[in-house]
Amino acid sequence: MQPPRVVLGVSGGIAAYKAAELCRAFVREGFEVHPVLTRGAREFVSPLTFAVLSGREVPTEVWGDRHSPAVLHVELADATDLLVVAPATAHTLARFAHGLADDFLTTYFLSHRGPVLVAPAMESAMWAHPAVRANCDLLAARGARFVGPASGFLASGHEGVGRMAEPEEILAAARALLARTPASRDMERLRILVTAGPTREPVDPVRFLSNRSSGRMGYALAEAARDRGAAVTLLSGPTGLPAPPGVRFASFETSADLHGLLVREFPECDALAMAAAVADFIPEASAERLHRQDGDATLRLAAGRDVLASLRPLKREQVVIAFAAETEDLERRGAAKRDAKGADLIVINDVGRGDIGFESPDNEVVILAKGEPARVVSRRPKREVADAIWDAFLKARPEAVAARELSGAPESRR
């Protein structure tokens, strides 16, 4: 079997030095790597580094660096399995989004026909800029996959979202992308609503009650559904995670905010995955700040609304996926909760275990669909758990949803 062929595009950011490590990791894994550097990248790293690591020439310009016919980008595209761009700067993302072809990488991008994986790296303010957001959304809508950026220390000394994903993570995403077949765009035309992260309920103007939900499971569900072709809306509580490209996004703080968003969005979706960790108790908030000097204070907690159960009157053919965090008697309690909340499936998390759930990148769950035996999803990255949950959803969805999918009824609001 031919080794998979990867074109590794490197654009001009400080993370370009890490692209050398990525190049080496691809070679070590048996990939045939063709590095391509932009002019900006050459300011940070030498083409020679990549030439030595890959054993290939490293083009930058499209019209041949050596009086050769300028068709290498076409030849390369004929047999390349994957284009990986790491780091992808704001400028390179913009050139991809708008089809500019002013160097080898951007010209190659337009000739490339396989999957594209981009690992953005830039300052947080640039990543948050509407122009960058719009370019990323455009690329995601056309099928590009994103890995990162992560949060952490940036070249400027600031801390925030914008660090390039680590080479090992990019390699794993590349492997996953190559393993995927076109048949896995099996959620096309479905409108998926996902809630994620914790709620925050104010105690006074400066304090709140919240919980340990990181939002990771919900974000993984949103990304997995997007990659399988669905039109996804993600409603998120406060998390440290960047809004995924190619997903409609709205944020909430309190459970009342979340309820308001759901009342508007739920009637228009085909499935709701309710992964948000919603407050069960709402503190009686003080309008003024509580002061230590005033001595002990008592907080009165009122039982909050069960947001999911409150949507029952709006439910028609939507498939509802509830999430249960339990510490004991998982299946019995989970099934009872599913039925009490009018859900079709429930995903049960064992929160008694410290090694999975909440902040962990991995999860292990039990999926209980009505009338089906329990399905145990053994420990794996949350993204793979998300795919297992969507597989269970596809099996459980009612005929009406399946029929709309087949009929090609237009998607709303992509």
Q: Which residues are catalytic?
A: 211
Q: What six digits make up the tokens of 30? A: 């048996």
* 339 near ligand CTP, judged by CB under 6 A: no
Nearer to ligand CTP, 216 or 341 (CB): 341
Positive or negative, the CA dihedral 98, 76, 19, 161 is: positive
Torsions phi, psi for 357 (to 5 deg): 80, -170
Query: CB of 340: closest distance to ligand CTP in angstroms?
Result: 8
* 338 near ligand CTP, judged by CB under 6 A: no
Angstrom distance (rounded) from CA 364 to CA 382 = 8
Angstrom distance (rounded) from CA 87 to CA 11 = 6
* 278 near ligand CTP, judged by CB under 6 A: yes
Angstrom distance (rounded) from CA 411 to CA 112 = 27
Positive or negative, the CA dihedral 131, 231, 171, 82 is: negative
Nearer to ligand CTP, 154 or 193 (CB): 193
- Selected from 200, 216, 248, 341, the binder of ligand CTP by CB under 6 A is 341
- Selected from 20, 118, 276, 345, the binder of ligand CTP by CB under 6 A is 276
* 120 near ligand CTP, judged by CB under 6 A: no
* 308 near ligand CTP, judged by CB under 6 A: yes
- Applying CB under 6 A, the span of 132-140, 144-152, 290-298, 302-310 interacting with ligand CTP comes to 302-310
- Selected from 10, 231, 322, 386, the binder of ligand CTP by CB under 6 A is 322
Closest CA to 54 of 101, 92, 123, 5: 5
Q: Which residue has the tokens 């993204």?
A: 383
* 47 near ligand CTP, judged by CB under 6 A: no
How far is C-alpha 12 from the chain's CA centre?
24
* 323 near ligand CTP, judged by CB under 6 A: yes
Query: CB of 330: closest distance to ligand CTP in angstroms?
Result: 11
Q: What six digits make up the tokens of 383? A: 């993204």
* 350 near ligand CTP, judged by CB under 6 A: no
Closest CA to 11 of 71, 86, 83, 70: 86
Which amino acid, 229? G
Query: CB of 262: closest distance to ligand CTP in angstroms?
Result: 9
Footprint on this chain of ligand CTP (rule: CB under 6 A): 255, 274, 276, 278, 280, 304, 306-308, 322-325, 337, 341
